[in-house]
Structure 1
Amino acid sequence: MSESPGAVSLATAPPPDEPSKVVTAQRVQPLRRPGRWIATVIVLVLAAQFAHGLITNPFYQWDRFGYWFLRPAIVEGLLVTLEVTAWSAVSGLLGGILLALARLSKSPVLRAVSWVYIWAFRSIPLIVVLLFLYNFSALYRTLSVGVPFGPAFFSFDESRLATDMVIAVVGLSLHEAAYAAEVVRGGVLSVDQGQHEAAAALGLPKGYQFRRIVFPQALRSIVPNYVNQLIGLVKSTSLVFYVSLLDLFGAAQTMGSTYPGDVVPLLLVVTVWYLILTSLVSIAQFYVERYYARGATRTLPPTPFQQLRASVGQFRERLRKEAAV
């Protein structure tokens, strides 16, 4: 029987006058990396020791942790944290968009005012801003709207308007807007200049160009950076305790002063709740980034479930190949 050209035989029959030889395929062994295995073992040992100490150390008082985790005072503080975060995130983003547009404006006045605002609020610590707003009524007891250096149209008592919730939201929003402005400005600048030129060549109005062409493309860069800011905002809400607003951290502090023996379990409760909140924000970030990645990548990044299914499939395939050898 004739063989086709280029065919390779793994086992051939030897000539009659030569001893029998059988050529078999040899499995290629992967390169051994002892350093990686040693590092893996060290990390696993340290992780096991940490988990063992965390579970068995009686100082953590896990029974008291379970008692406090869903207590009404803690849940009410959690709701305050969510409310402050939601209002501050929306207000900060809207303020950041306006500040970014002002910095990108051709007006030197708008650019200067926006730059000074961003410079000031990125330089002043958030706790200083909150405390300054908390004592703002000592400087201005009444606020009025009217002609500068002239008569006032109407005025109102600042102390009656500035509740603890308002002070917290305004302080966080002012601080967040300064950082959001740079995030938005960076996203707008990341859009290819050809997109601006193509929109201008079509004769589209400036506002329409920004809303329908530039800003949707800029969101691909804005979303991951601003969600990172949002995670920081969730943690920054713990500072509103210093303006007499009982958020999650403030509720735990109040309960800790009443029950000094439960300070550590209460701190663990706060820690776990913040971990849950930031994890939920991170999950939302993944799916939002995946949504805006459409059209920019050939294949969308796999979801965690898809990654798990692919890993299980690869593991089963590896076991099947090893069993067949």
Structure 2
Amino acid sequence: MSSTIKEKGPHTLPLARKIRYGQLLGGAVVLVVLGNLANLLATNENMQWDVVWKYFLGIDLVNGLVLTLQLTLFAMLIGLVLGATLALMRMSSNPLISGVSGLYIWFFRGTPLLVQIIFWFNISLLFPKIEIGIPFGGPTFYSGNTNDLVTPVLAGLLALSLNEGAYMAEIVRAGILSVAPGQLEAAQTIGLSRFATTTRIILPQAMRVIIPPTGNQLIGMLKTTSLVSVIAVPELLYSAQLIYSKTYETVPLLVAASIWYLIVSTILSYFQGHIERHYGRGTRAQAPRSGQRLIAALTGRRPRKTPRSSTPDLELGIGEDGR
């Protein structure tokens, strides 16, 4: 059910704007729900907001946040390099190389990350001593106790980065496959080297496909680091757990940690959007008219009209007869 309002201007024709009562009613319901939720959180004494802000900038949570950011950064960097390598191996014509990459991806994507974290934490049960050298009786360059080398932080980093590498391999492979084969043929035709073809042709186009899921993986990695709390790595969540295990202020500490996760996730999402727009420049085409009509139906806005080019035909080398 809708009504129309006539709008007239000095230089415009009368316009009809529909009032959609369904959208107004839906918006009112959302405002009521959000208002009640905000009031519930603000007035509930069990939330203990004073305790939340007390620990929010506390040294323990801040140190845990720093370790969380370090794990996120290094795990993503290692996972990205490993994923790019595995993607190239997966696309190799050598069946052995391709098979090894596929086996790696299958294993690390098919087993839970929590199991991998616990496995690396207990790696000393399988290999009590780590030795690096030439196999089959050759000299040993390094030998040490596994527990001394693989600390809980390193075990968590290994699990996170190796698991991330399997997912990044598929993301990078999808980005490379998104580049049309004709682009490579054109690059070879004009005599570009393989390095120049990769850096100037393949990567700029592949990044449009790689960046969005990689940004999602980065934000997901930030939250996934909380899993290493099971092996007593003092990241953000475990730092909060250490505090409320002594003070029994469980909810305020969890809320303080969640606020930090939300802040960092918001910042990462902001930069992700800028990077996506950077690599998407020059490729944004206007939506088809059918898509514009669908958007208009969902949002209640009229689709924009595509402006005609103001460039004269003669400037484009096209005459009135079309030649």
Please tell me the TM-score bracket, short chain as reference.
Answer: 0.7 to 0.9
TM-score (norm 1): 0.80
- C-alpha distance in 2 between matches for 1:125 and 1:210: 34
Aligned position for 2:181: 193
Quick check: 1:142–1:155 contact (8 Å CA) kept in 2?
A: no
Q: Of 68, 76, 97, which residue of structure 1 is paired with 2:55?
A: 68
Aligned position for 2:68: 81
Aligned position for 1:241: 229
Quick check: 2:132–2:143 contact (8 Å CA) kept in 1?
A: no
Alignment partner of 2:18: what SS? coil
Q: Of 152, 173, 179, which residue of structure 1 is paired with 2:167?
A: 179
- Residues 61, 151 of structure 1: alpha-carbon distance in 2 compared, 3 angstrom cutoff: same
Structure whose alpha-carbon radius of gyration is higher:
1
Residue identity over aligned pairs, in percent, reads 39
Q: Of 20, 28, 52, which residue of structure 2 is paired with 1:41?
A: 28
Could you say what the CA RMSD is over the residues aligned between the two structures, in angstroms?
1.8
TM-score (norm 2): 0.81
Quick check: 2:52–2:255 contact (8 Å CA) kept in 1?
A: yes
Q: How many residues align structurally?
A: 274
- What are the superposed Cα offsets for residues 30-68 of structure 1, whole Å, 9 maximum, x if unpaired? 223221111111111111111110111111011111111
Aligned position for 1:254: 242
Aligned position for 1:291: 278
- Residues 241, 206 of structure 1: alpha-carbon distance in 2 compared, 3 angstrom cutoff: same
Aligned position for 1:269: 256
- C-alpha distance in 2 between matches for 1:148 and 1:115: 26
Quick check: 1:99–1:181 contact (8 Å CA) kept in 2?
A: yes
- Residues 208, 153 of structure 1: alpha-carbon distance in 2 compared, 3 angstrom cutoff: farther
- C-alpha distance in 1 between matches for 2:51 and 2:198: 54
- What are the superposed Cα offsets for residues 211-232 of structure 1, whole Å, 9 maximum, x if unpaired? 3321122111111110101010
Q: CA deviation at 1:151?
A: 3.1
Tell me which moved more, 132-141 or 201-210. Answer: 201-210
Q: CA deviation at 1:149?
A: 4.1
Quick check: 1:88–1:169 contact (8 Å CA) kept in 2?
A: yes
Amino acid at match of 1:269: A
- C-alpha distance in 1 between matches for 2:129 and 2:46: 51
Aligned position for 1:21: none
Alignment partner of 2:19: what SS? coil
- What are the superposed Cα offsets for residues 180-234 of structure 1, whole Å, 9 maximum, x if unpaired? 1111111111112111111222343434422332112211111111010101000
